[in-house]
Structure 1
Amino acid sequence: MQWEELKAQLLEAGSARLSGEPAEDYIAQSTAGPGAGGKGAVFFTMGSHRVKFAINPTSPIEIVHRGNGVADLYFGERQIPGNLLRPGLHCPDQAFITVTEGCIFSCRYCSVPQMPARRKTVEEIMGLVESVRHRISAISLTSGVMGSIEEEEAYVCEVIDHLRFFSLPIGVSVYPTDQTPGRLRALGVAEVKFNIETATPDLFAKICPGLDYNHVWQVLDRSVELFGKGRVFSNVIVGLGETDAEMEACINQLASHGVIPVLRPLNPVAGCAGMPRPPADRLRRLFSIHRQALARAGLDTAGALTMCTTCAGCDLVPGRDE
């Protein structure tokens, strides 16, 4: 079985139960997005490939930790030898930090609005990066919105100004204002990710009430002008009710604008609880469409420095999962 096929099946399941030797050093925690507030996650690697599993004691997939990161994954009749990856912060090789845990918006796929709001101080964030500095190659930031979009942007910019001390590539994914791309570029940010989240504007209106789909597109176009093709990304969640044709159109539109789509399988929590995760065969169909769209647009995920496309744990990523 090729890695692409195996990973699609693993992403359809989305979780694994963890047994064997103590593995606390290999468990990553999420404070943003659908995984916020859960039991944590682990990254399993087989050679140069990796996949992220939410920890779930009832999962049909089992990972047995043998010690020192060596592990076996049991999936159906298969036993797959590999390793657990030690995360920097949230994911391997990066300090991926949520600046503000909490949000005034209520996107249906996201658990953050249900959690107590909390904002990390600049000193706290600097300390977090320092604590993993020896095993990371990038810093990535995301954030909810504590008070207003404008105030959040200003605070994230303050954080970035301090993080330049580490001389590492910085990627940023926040809900933007018109001025966000220019301000982030002026601070030396390497890459940005502004998320359209859904394949169609009608779905966006239902899933992300109070946010502006067309505005995100405008900001993406401005970001490509400033950061260049292949340095701008956008999450699109797979499994919210869109058709394959609608997702294909969205993928092609993003790629034709110089934006690398990040196809994120639905994690059915919060307002999406009870919805199914997308099946493996659909993930593979979309992977093929995604790969072809990137090739036509001259986009290459191998050049990504930060955030989700570099990690490639949660998604099938053309150029990294082949």
Structure 2
Amino acid sequence: MTKALEEPRRGAVDGGALPPGALGTLVAELQSVGLRVEVPIETRRGGAGPSDSGMLWIDGVPVTVPTEGARAAESPYVLRAEDDSDGIYRDGVRLATASRTKRPRYYDLQTADGVPYWKIALLHLDSLASTVVQTCAYWGNADQCKFCGIEVSLASGRTIVRKTPQQLAEVAVAAKELDSAVDATLTTGSSNAPDRGARYVARCGNAIKEAAALPVEVQFEPPRDLSVLDEVRDLGIDAVGIHVETFDPAVLAHVAPAKARTGIDYYFRTWERAVEVFGRGKVSTYVILGMGEDPDLIVRGCRRAIDIGVYPFVVPLRPVAGSLLEDAAPPTGEYAERIYRRVVPYLVARGLDARGAGAGCARCQACSAMNLFKTLQIGSRPPDAEGTA
């Protein structure tokens, strides 16, 4: 246990909330080693997204942490019921207050043709999320992304292969009215079409905006014709996620061969155009830690992205059962925190804030601890472009 966690324990026992840095350290460790649960908890099982994870608020902060599988079962951390809420404990010592999410009420509804709403879109804490096309051109061949489980959900019968704009609009209205959803995040399996599926996922996002008036982020690979980005904007989409996954080219070639052929430089060209179209902070990319990357390449890539107005959403690897990395170990919380502490000061210095995203994973932040280190950096000296903040 690090000193950063030992000290807040005393305050937590006395009923005080963890300070932001200590809470960040705790969340980073929980997202590495998982959380045992002694109480029922709403989870996201299998497939794409925060897989096999429980969804909760820790000291009021939205968090997803692994709660399924052997690793979570052996975690030294446990979620335990208390009189008015829950607590997170280690070795019998209370570390933080936690609140569980309830099963969304809209999950009990279905479409006129009998499709349960939860097969169309799930509620990730307060964000409606859906993979609108649950197949991928890379799945089951040499191009399959090793960290991905997009077709695992489909094979298990937990979703349908293609959601229509009408279905998504219907579910979004119910999720907003019954469960207070605040935005929608839509992704899609990769397509061989020149637009890489961007037009269809944007049409789905437009239907949600028209019906439910929710902010929407859509996620897709870089289209071959960058004018597609203008079409996506013209459909009213608020933000886009265009995910490179890692800035280490050797790792990218190993874990996502098709993305490697697209090339990191083309991702930057796409992001530059996307920032022109959507604005600074409205474009994001996932950056996954724990796949064997050179951390200096990750930090330099994140800072380069920040310089052009792209929000790098840095997350630890969440091994997905059924994926090619299902047996991989996530990075340690200490390693993830070191990267957060080198990237977050640069975000602050360049004026990028998660709240500016408006919608999507960067807005939600639950799958990363990076935003919990932000308040420690305000007012600090801007880091050098190549330094270790």
TM-score tier, shorter chain, comes to 0.7 to 0.9
Q: Aligned match of 2:364 in 299, 311, 314? A: 311
Identity within the alignment, %: 22
Query: RMSD in angstroms over aligned alpha carbons?
Result: 2.5
Using the alignment, how far apart are the partners of 1:47 and 1:34 within structure 2? 20
Distance 1:319 1:227 in 2: 26
Name the counterpart of 1:53.
65
> Structure 1 residues 227, 56: CA separation in 2 closer, same or farther (over 3 Å shift)?
same
Give the corresponding residue for 1:253: 304
Name whichever structure is richer in strand by fraction: 1
Structure 1 position 10, deviation (Å): 1.0
Structure 2 equivalent of residue 170 of structure 1: 216
1:159 aligned residue (182, 204, 209): 204
Query: How many corresponding residue pairs?
Result: 313
Residue 380 (structure 2) aligns with: none
What TM-score do you get using the length of structure 1 for normalisation? 0.87
For residue 101 of structure 1, give the secondary structure of its aligned residue in structure 2.
Answer: coil
Contact 2:199–2:232 at 8 Å: present in 1 too? Answer: no
Are 1:290 and 1:318, in contact at CA under 8 Å, matched by a contact in 2? no
Q: Indicate the residue corresponding to 1:192 in structure 2.
A: 240
**Could you tell me which amino acid in structure 2 is paired with residue 3 of structure 1?**
L
Query: Distance between the aligned counterparts of 2:357 and 2:202, measured in 1?
Result: 21
**Cα deviation code 1:8-42 (max 9, x no counterpart):** 211221x333333x44xx3345642572xxxx432
Correspondence for 1:217 among 268, 275, 284: 268
Give the structure 2 partner of residue 142 of structure 1. 187
- Tell me, what secondary structure is at the counterpart of 1:100? coil
Q: 1:183 to 1:75 in 2, by over 3 A?
A: farther
**Whole-Å separation in 1 of the counterparts to 2:202 and 2:354:** 26
Residue in structure 2 matched with residue 124 of structure 1 by the alignment: 167
- State which of 37, 43, 58 in structure 2 corresponds to 1:18: 37
> Which residue number corresponds to residue 112 of structure 1?
150
Deviation, 1:87, is 7.2
Secondary structure of the corresponding residue to residue 215 of structure 1: helix
Structure 1 pair 210/221, CA: closer, same or farther in 2 (3 Å)? Answer: same
Deviations 1:36-66 (A, max 9, x none): xxxx432221333232123325422332356
Please give the TM-score of this superposition, normalised by the length of structure 2: 0.73
Q: Tell me how far 1:262 sits from its aligned partner.
A: 0.5
Amino acid at match of 1:71: D
The yes-or-no answer on 1:204 pairing with 2:252 is yes
Deviations 1:274-313 (A, max 9, x none): 3321112211111111112112322122323211122221
- Residue in 2 aligned with 1:95? 128
8 Å Cα contact 1:18-1:57 kept in structure 2: no
Q: 1:7 deviation in Å?
A: 1.3
Matched, 1:241 2:292: yes
CA-CA distance at 1:78 after TM superposition: 2.9
1:6 aligns with 2:26: yes
CA contact (8 A) 2:233 2:278 kept: yes
Are 1:95 and 1:136, in contact at CA under 8 Å, matched by a contact in 2?
Answer: yes
Measured at CA, do residues 320 and 308 of structure 1 come closer, stay the same or move farther in structure 2, by a change above 3 Å? farther
- Cα drift, residue 85 of structure 1: 2.9
In structure 2, the partner of 1:81 is 97
Q: Which amino acid aligns with 2:131?
A: T
Structure 2: 5+ residue runs without aligned partners? 1-7, 9-21, 105-121, 139-143, 376-389
Distance 1:147 1:120 in 2: 19
**2 CA distance for matches of 1:184 and 1:62?**
43
In structure 2, the CA distance between the partners of 1:312 and 1:161, relative to structure 1 (3 Å rule), is: closer
Please name the residue that 1:282 is paired with: 335
Structure 1, unpaired ranges of 5+: none
**Distance apart, 1:250 and its partner CA:** 1.1
User: What secondary structure, in the 3-state scheme, does the structure 2 residue paired with 1:144 have?
Assistant: coil
Give the direction of change, closer, same or farther, for the CA distance of 1:243–1:48 in structure 2 (3 Å limit): same
